[in-house]
Structure formats: structure tokens, C-alpha cells
Amino acid sequence: MGHGRLLPALRALAHPVILGLSRSNDAVGAAFGTGGTGPALSVATAVVVTAIGGVIFCELRRRSGSLIPPVALHFALNGAGCALAWSAAQRWAG
């Protein structure tokens, strides 16, 4: 499949998701806005933060000489994110 068919297909899949991101999540909508620039800013922020995380994980791997420290850091950050999400859900649930 050439680029002429692949890119429109990807755009068609991503378009509703990106446009609905700021409207469906109140926190994202409050931080970035729900207008035309809100979804673009939220996606750009996600890309930049992911790239920074990748650089940190790669540097940790390079300095330690092992995969265990970056994997442990990733696991700890994911666990903290889950704990915070659960805590927030409990707080707003009542």
C-alpha cells in the first residue's frame, strides 16, 4: 500500500480521536482549550513529553549499562500514575 492510500487512512482514524480529546477530558480541555488549537497543543505536548522521557530512559540505560534501571523507573512511574488516577477517581466519586 502506497503513501497515497496510507496517509488518508491514518488521518481518518486519528482525526475524530484528536478532535475529541480536549472535549471528552475536562482536565485536558481546561489546560489546552477545546477550540481548534487545543487538540494540536495537547498532541504536541504529548509528543514532546514522550521524547523527553525517551531521552531520559536512553541516558539511564547508557550510564548504567543495564536495562533494569530504566525498566524499574518506567514501572515506578506507571505505578505512580495508576495510584494517582485511582486516588483522583475516589476523590471525585464522593
- Please spell the DSSP secondary structure of 4-29, one letter per residue: HHHHHHHHHHHHHHHHHHHHH-HHHH
Tell me: pLDDT of 33 over 70: yes
Rounded to whole angstroms, what are the CA distances from 42 to 12, 52, 57, 88? Answer: 19, 15, 22, 21
Structure confidence at residue 46 (pLDDT): 85
Tell whether 11 is covered by a domain.
yes
Tell whether 72 is covered by a domain.
no
**Helix%, strand%, coil% for the chain, nearest 5:** 90, 0, 10
Tell me: pLDDT of 3 over 60: no
Tell whether 89 is covered by a domain.
no
pLDDT tens figures, 48-92: 999 999 999 999 999 999 999 999 999 999 999 999 989 988 888
Structural domain span for residue 8: 3-66
Tell whether 33 is covered by a domain.
yes
The proportion of the chain whose per-residue pLDDT surpasses 90, expressed as a percent, equals 40
Tell whether 80 is covered by a domain.
no
Tell whether 58 is covered by a domain.
yes
Tell whether 85 is covered by a domain.
no
Q: How many domains does the chain have?
A: 1
